[in-house]
């Protein structure tokens, strides 16, 4: 597969994937199309921003059979852009069995000219016991090997399974990489999202990304815009979901901050074409079918609006800032994101070392790679002079200036990224953890400069934190 990364930030990327039916630029969402229930016409999906769709090969196999083979899936859905076909694993998870073998459904997907085909993997639900998850994974791996042999010219999507067992998710990713797919897809996580178990979701994504460092990564069943920024920053490139339709049928209205019921809304907090032409009271008066279409279209508009916002953040290297805003929509998102401190090495290896700006958005900002890189750079500093002047006041001429979050900043680097390009609240109002991190970085530098004398100009709240510093220190209150 022709796959090119054009921009990066955090673990997120903008990528180009070339297919026989056109280019896909990630991150993006593939809306789910049910071929038996044309809720919103697949041909209209471009109007909302979709570049590709996903449909269910098992449903097409059961409902259309030879007709689908004669027409091909693109003609069947009346679209000329890329299509991914799922294999029926969702039905397998719901009903425990499907009336088709892995080989049959792979060959069928190939015959209907699907751009991306998926083997009939075993979607082990969250919290399954280890032995069950392991046995299901063994079956999935064998089916992926079979799919590799018979996929033809179509691109192969290899599911990553293993329930909530980190060890099995890593093993699944390693085995899939050995088999060799074009896209890798994290499966069986919808129950986690439905239960707002974003911490478990984030851990699974990070475990998989620790193995698949570069390859395109799809997150099955993720369709709520409140989750996209987090998932992209953790390394997901592609998403798919029927959420736009399922939520609409239940009178639910999607926003980047959560879900609203239509009955709760007095005003629409959105400027999409639908929300600017009608008021909530008017929509509530519509016939059920019209109301569902209105909400589904809004849900698609807000979905792709958020995708464009994320892409722009990647381009301007502000994805950290965007995520740190979005995770405040729900405490479980906040908890999920804070796990990045346990995967700092992965982030360091991927996140660009030079950016335009550094905006402090809260305690999570302390976990960014730029903060650790600043500390690492301090270890390379040496001074020929015996006395080093450190100041918390930029009005005093000094060798080093103290900034919240970063700690000591050499005067020569006050205009350089990250500390010199940082927008940070004053020490008097910022969280104490930001000052504690800065002081720990200062202590680390002072230990590396053994034998030096330090003159430290103190002001404001810094006086509370600059105590018990190593080495010979003279404090000057200012």
Query: Going by C-beta distance under 8 Å and a sequence separation of 6 or more, which residues neighbour residue 225?
Result: 254, 255, 256, 302, 303, 305, 306
Q: In this structure, is residue 240 part of a structural domain?
A: yes
Residue 294 predicted with pLDDT over 70: yes
145 and 207 in a single domain? The answer is yes
Note if 97 is an active site residue. no
Q: Which tokens hold the place of 136?
A: 């299901």
- pLDDT tier at 38 (50, 70, 90 boundaries)? confident
* Final residue in a domain of this structure, among 339, 365, 395: 339
Q: In this structure, is residue 345 part of a structural domain?
A: no
What is the percent of the chain where pLDDT is above 90? 87
56 and 6 in a single domain? The answer is yes
Model pTM score: 0.94
Helix ranges restricted to H, 72-180: 73-77, 89-95, 102-111, 130-150, 166-179
Q: In this structure, is residue 163 part of a structural domain?
A: yes
Q: Which string of DSSP letters, residue by residue, matches 292-327?
A: HHHHHHHHHHHHHHHHHHHHHHHHTT-HHHHHHHHG
172 and 262 in a single domain? The answer is yes
Query: Going by C-beta distance under 8 Å and a sequence separation of 6 or more, which residues neighbour residue 395?
Result: none
* Final residue in a domain of this structure, among 339, 359, 393: 339
- pLDDT tier at 333 (50, 70, 90 boundaries)? very high
383 and 335 in a single domain? The answer is no
Q: What's residue 182's pLDDT?
A: 97
- Are 323 and 280 spatial neighbours (Cβ–Cβ below 8 Å)? no
Q: In this structure, is residue 68 part of a structural domain?
A: yes
Distance, CA of 217 to CA of 166 (rounded, Å): 17
323 and 433 in a single domain? The answer is no
Q: What's residue 307's pLDDT?
A: 98
- pLDDT tier at 1 (50, 70, 90 boundaries)? confident
Q: What's residue 379's pLDDT?
A: 85
Q: In this structure, is residue 367 part of a structural domain?
A: no
Residue 52 predicted with pLDDT over 70: yes
- Are 432 and 395 spatial neighbours (Cβ–Cβ below 8 Å)? no
C-beta neighbour count of 448 within 10 angstroms: 14
199 and 314 in a single domain? The answer is yes
Tally the domains of the chain: 2
327 and 387 in a single domain? The answer is no
Q: Which tokens hold the place of 57?
A: 């090969």
402 and 325 in a single domain? The answer is no
181 and 238 in a single domain? The answer is yes
Q: In this structure, is residue 360 part of a structural domain?
A: no
Domain extent at residue 329: 2-339
Mean pLDDT over residues 121-137, rounded?
A: 96
- Are 126 and 203 spatial neighbours (Cβ–Cβ below 8 Å)? no
What are the tens digits of pLDDT across the range 146-171?
A: 999 999 999 999 999 999 999 999 99
Q: Identify the CA nearest to 85 among candidates 143, 32, 16.
A: 32
Catalytic residue among 2, 78, 86, 399: 86
414 and 321 in a single domain? The answer is no
330 and 386 in a single domain? The answer is no
- Angle, helices 198-209 vs 166-179, to 10°: value is 40
Domain at 78, CATH number: 3.20.20.105
Distance, CA of 464 to CA of 372 (rounded, Å): 24
Q: What's residue 94's pLDDT?
A: 64
Q: In this structure, is residue 33 part of a structural domain?
A: yes
283 and 382 in a single domain? The answer is no
Distances (CA, A) of 407 to 178, 316, 364, 415, 445: 44, 25, 17, 15, 9
Q: In this structure, is residue 330 part of a structural domain?
A: yes
C-beta neighbour count of 387 within 10 angstroms: 12
Q: What's residue 397's pLDDT?
A: 94
- Are 142 and 120 spatial neighbours (Cβ–Cβ below 8 Å)? no
What are the tens digits of pLDDT across the range 298-310?
A: 999 999 999 999 9
* Final residue in a domain of this structure, among 310, 339, 368: 339
Residue 89 predicted with pLDDT over 80: no
Distance, CA of 444 to CA of 414 (rounded, Å): 20
């Amino acid at each position: 597969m022709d796959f090119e990364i054009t921009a990066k930030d955090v673990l997120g990327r903008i990528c180009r994937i070339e297919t026989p039916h056109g280019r896909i630029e990630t991150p993006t969402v593939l809306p789910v199309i049910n071929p038996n229930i044309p809720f919103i016409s697949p041909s209209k999906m471009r109007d909302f921003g979709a570049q590709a769709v996903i449909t269910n090969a098992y449903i097409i196999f059961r409902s259309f059979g030879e007709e689908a083979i004669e027409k091909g899936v693109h003609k069947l859905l009346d679209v000329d852009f890329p299509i991914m076909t799922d294999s029926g694993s969702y039905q397998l998870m719901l009903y425990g069995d499907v009336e088709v073998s892995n080989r049959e459904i792979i060959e069928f997907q190939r015959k209907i000219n699907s751009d991306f085909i998926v083997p009939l993997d075993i979607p082990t639900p969250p919290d399954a016991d280890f032995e069950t998850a392991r046995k299901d994974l063994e079956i999935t791996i064998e089916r992926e090997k079979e799919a590799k042999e018979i996929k033809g010219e179509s691109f192969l999507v290899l599911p990553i399974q293993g329930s909530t067992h980190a060890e099995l998710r890593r093993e699944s990713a390693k085995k899939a990489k050995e088999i060799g797919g074009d896209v890798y897809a994290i499966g069986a996580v919808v129950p986690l999202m439905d239960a707002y178990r974003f911490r478990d979701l984030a851990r699974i994504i990070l475990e998989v990304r620790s193995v698949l460092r570069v390859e395109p990564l799809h997150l099955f069943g993720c369709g709520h815009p409140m989750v996209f920024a987090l998932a992209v920053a953790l390394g997901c490139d592609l998403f798919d979901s029927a959420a736009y339709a399922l939520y609409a049928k239940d009178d639910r209205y999607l926003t980047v901050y959560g879900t609203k019921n239509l009955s709760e809304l007095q005003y629409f907090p959105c400027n999409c074409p639908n929300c600017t032409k009608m008021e909530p009271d008017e929509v509530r008066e519509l016939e059920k079918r019209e109301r569902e279409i209105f909400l589904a279209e809004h849900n698609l508009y807000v979905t792709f609006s958020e995708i464009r916002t994320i892409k722009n953040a990647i381009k301007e290297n502000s994805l950290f800032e965007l995520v740190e805003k979005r995770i405040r929509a729900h405490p479980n998102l906040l908890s999920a994101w804070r796990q990045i401190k346990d995967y700092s090495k992965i982030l360091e290896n991927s996140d660009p070392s030079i950016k335009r700006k550094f905006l402090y958005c809260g305690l999570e900002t302390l976990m960014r790679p730029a903060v650790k890189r600043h500390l690492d750079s301090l270890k390379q500093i040496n001074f020929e002079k015996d006395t080093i002047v450190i100041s918390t006041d930029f009005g005093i001429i000094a060798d080093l200036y103290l900034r919240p979050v970063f700690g000591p900043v050499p005067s020569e680097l006050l205009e350089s990224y990250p500390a010199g390009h940082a927008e940070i609240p004053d020490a008097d109002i910022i969280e104490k953890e930001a000052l504690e991190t800065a002081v720990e970085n200062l202590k680390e530098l002072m230990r590396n400069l053994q034998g030096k004398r330090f003159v430290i100009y103190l002001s404001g709240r810094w006086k509370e934190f600059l105590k018990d510093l190593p080495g010979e220190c003279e404090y000057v209150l200012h």
